[in-house]
Each structure stands twice: as C-alpha cells, then as structure tokens.
Amino acid sequence: MQRSMSRSPPGWPAIHAASDGTYGVPRVHAELAAQGVHTSRRRVARLMAEQGLEGVSRRKRRHSTTTPSTRPAAPDLVLRRFSAASGPNQVWFADITYVPTWEGWLYVALVVDAWSRRIVGWAMREGLEAALVVDALGMATLARRPAAGAIHHSDRGSQSGFKGSSQHRLVALRVGDR
C-alpha cells in the first residue's frame, strides 16, 4: 500500500537540508515536534528512506578483524547446534565485542556454557590482543573445571598469536593437569 506524500509532515526536508544533511531521523523528528508538528518517528524514517536521505554519525566506525582466506578453517565440531549440549561444561562458545566508553574502546571477551547459557568466563582489556581471549578461557576453565573432551567454539575471527579462534577440544586445559 502506497502512502501519498501529501500526508507527509510539512517542512521535514528543509530541516534535513538546514543541518547540511547531518540530521538523521531522531533529530528531524525532534525538530518537527519542537515546531508543533505531530508525526511518528517511523513516518519520518520512512519518508527519509524514500528520498534516500540519512544522517551522519559522529562516532568512528570500528572494523573488526578479518581472517585471511589462506588459513584453513577448523572443522565445525558443533555444526551450529548450540543447544545440542546435554549437560553443563560440554560445549562452550565464545565471542569478542567492543564497547565505546568516554575513555575509548573497551574490548570484552565472553565464554558461555551452551547448556546453561550462563557466562562462565570473561575478560576486559583496552586493546584487542590474544591475551584477552586466553584470560576469558582461563577464567572459565578455573571456575568450571570441564572434563577432557569439552568443546570450545568461536567464530573464525582471529587475534594475532592465538590459535584458539576456532574450535578446540579442551584436553590440556584441565586445572589438575598443569
């Protein structure tokens, strides 16, 4: 169903243009509300999308690492079935994310038990280093003491020097074996 442009709120293209094209949906909507024009934020978003207009983000975009295609992929031991674990500490999966803070980026690595969906290990650092992942996996291993043969699964993203960025059986990481 096509909506006619005659029902669009008056003046919204001028608001975007007056901002030198920097205002996005939230600011255009707020400016319309300040002018006493009542419309929904979704309508403003739809109209701007129809015209190909978008705001400018002031945040720097963060690009995650990519793995060179020359490195062989580890075999998929989980087969993307993260609910297949029949008990705790059999399958863990891990990921890294980053959070913008006032002082810069904070990198967080998490290890999650696939059976309980609980975070069993985590680590935070100011930089994206292999030690971040190693610390999170070490915390999980010390706290949960998995049996030999447990699987640690993560995506193909890679931190330099860490070969644990795929799937590995946790055999030598048992605390009693050190």
8-36 pLDDT, tens digit per residue, is 777 778 888 888 888 888 998 998 899 88
pTM score over 0.75 = no
Phi then psi for 27, rounded to 5 degrees?
-75, -40
- Among 177, 172, 97, which residue's Cα sits nearest to residue 133? 97
pLDDT at residue 174 in the model: 42
> What's residue 107's pLDDT?
92
Q: What is the pLDDT of residue 123?
A: 93
**pLDDT at residue 4, rounded to an integer:** 44
Domains of the chain by residue range:
11-50, 91-177
Q: Which amino acid is at 53?
A: L
Q: How much is the pLDDT for 73? A: 63
Q: Show the low-confidence residues of the chain (pLDDT under 70).
A: 1-7, 59-84, 155-178
Q: How many residues does the chain have?
A: 178
**Contact present, 139 and 150 (Cβ < 8 Å):** no
Q: Residue 67's pLDDT is what?
A: 54
At residue 62, the pLDDT reads 61
- pLDDT recorded at residue 172: 46
